[in-house]
Amino acid sequence: MAYQHLFGPVPSRRLGISLGIDLVPHKTCTFNCVYCECGQTTDLTCERREYVPTDRVLAELDDFLARDPDLDYVTFAGSGEPTLHSGIGEIIAFIKDLYPRYRVAVLTGSAPLADPEVRTALMRADLVVPSLDAVSEEVFLEVNRPCSGLTAAGVLAGITAFAREFPGEVWLEVFIVPGKNDTEEELLRIRDAVAAIGPDRVQVNTLDRPGTEAWVRPALPRTVERAVSLLGGNAEAIGAACTGPVVLPDLREALESILSTVRRRPCTPGDLAVLLGLRPAEISKCLRVLEDTGMVETVQEKRGMFYRAV
């Protein structure tokens, strides 16, 4: 079966070996964050609906998980905000009922958590990773550039309500954008929000690949360390990418895996080698093929040459 809505498995910095589920077309989201590695939001929306066929997602999951793959998580992530898909609760239930050995994670920008229906839909997940990049309205608007009607206060209230109801783990992600949300004033506001939410972990992140806006740069290590210190005892910096082998038996599968990866976010050849478990020479060969056929293009950044889908 050719998968349209599954990607990976890939080694994740936080989640180990993770099978991704992409429930919305690129790039459908409640936010147009300045740092997003998936690029500009083309459908800025708060509308919940069945963006891709639920039955198709279930069929792909059944086909893949029936093979008993070794996974740490099945993760809802990818090209936008997964909780906008009206069938996410049904899909989570399918995994937990038919394949209970697999842990389910949901990565969310957090805005839909203000909706009680969304919170209910996520109750059977094992882990939810909501984002909170700002508490003040001014910084929220500058960093997250939300859909009309969303406020920082509303997002915070949704995360807080969800964390109180959810029986699984909550890892709160704070993405540092230098010059925007790294001031002591804003970080102390976030610290107060963390105290209200009570997450199991707070993970401080910063740019690793090219973001949406060219002016966004990675926070310096000392800035990240300062944020970790200010945010409290369960805060941690997200480390470097994990390594681990993912077997790809032929060139076609390698090409498809590389293209699927760079469609979601730009990567260097080194990133791809780590994520896909391929030798650098194999990555280079595949990238040449994809570049020659006009399927990828390059962009030079401080960390190196990044490849992205055309």
Burial class (CB in 10 A: 0-12, 13-18, 19+), 209: buried
Q: Cα separation of 201 and 271, whole Å?
A: 26
Reduce the DSSP state of residue 9 to 3 states and report it: strand
Residue 69 to residues 48, 61, 243, Cα–Cα distance (Å): 31, 11, 18
Distance of CA 67 to the CA centre of its chain: 25
Q: Cα separation of 136 and 147, whole Å?
A: 16
Reduce the DSSP state of residue 229 to 3 states and report it: helix
Q: Cα separation of 38 and 27, whole Å?
A: 7
Q: Which domains does the chain have, with CATH numbers?
A: 6-237 (3.20.20.70), 251-309 (1.10.10.10)
Q: Could you tell me the maximum CA-CA distance found in the chain, to the nearest angstrom? A: 53
Main-chain dihedrals φ then ψ at residue 96, nearest 5 degrees: -70, -30
String of b and e for 213-228 (b: at least 16 CB within 10 Å)? eeebbbbeeebbebbb
Q: In the β-sheet with 16-21, what is the strand arrangement from edge to edge?
A: 6-12, 16-21, 73-76, 104-108, 127-130, 169-175, 201-205, 235-237
Any idea what DSSP says for residue 105? E
Q: How many CB atoms lie within 10 A of CB 253?
A: 12
| Signed CA dihedral, 177, 182, 183, 185: sign only | positive
Question: Could you tell me the two tokens for 101?
Answer: 């050995």
Instruction: Identify the H or E element spanning 220.
Output: none
pLDDT tens digits for the chain (310 residues)? 778 898 878 777 788 889 999 999 989 999 999 999 888 899 999 999 999 999 999 999 999 999 999 999 999 998 899 999 999 999 999 999 999 999 999 999 999 999 999 999 999 999 999 999 999 999 999 999 999 999 999 999 999 999 999 999 999 999 999 999 999 999 999 999 999 999 999 999 998 777 889 899 999 999 999 999 999 879 999 854 444 444 444 567 788 888 888 888 898 988 888 788 777 767 887 888 888 888 899 888 878 889 998 8
pTM of the model: 0.81
The three-state DSSP-derived secondary structure of 63-81 is HHHCCCCCCCEEEECCCEC
Q: Residue type at 162? A: F
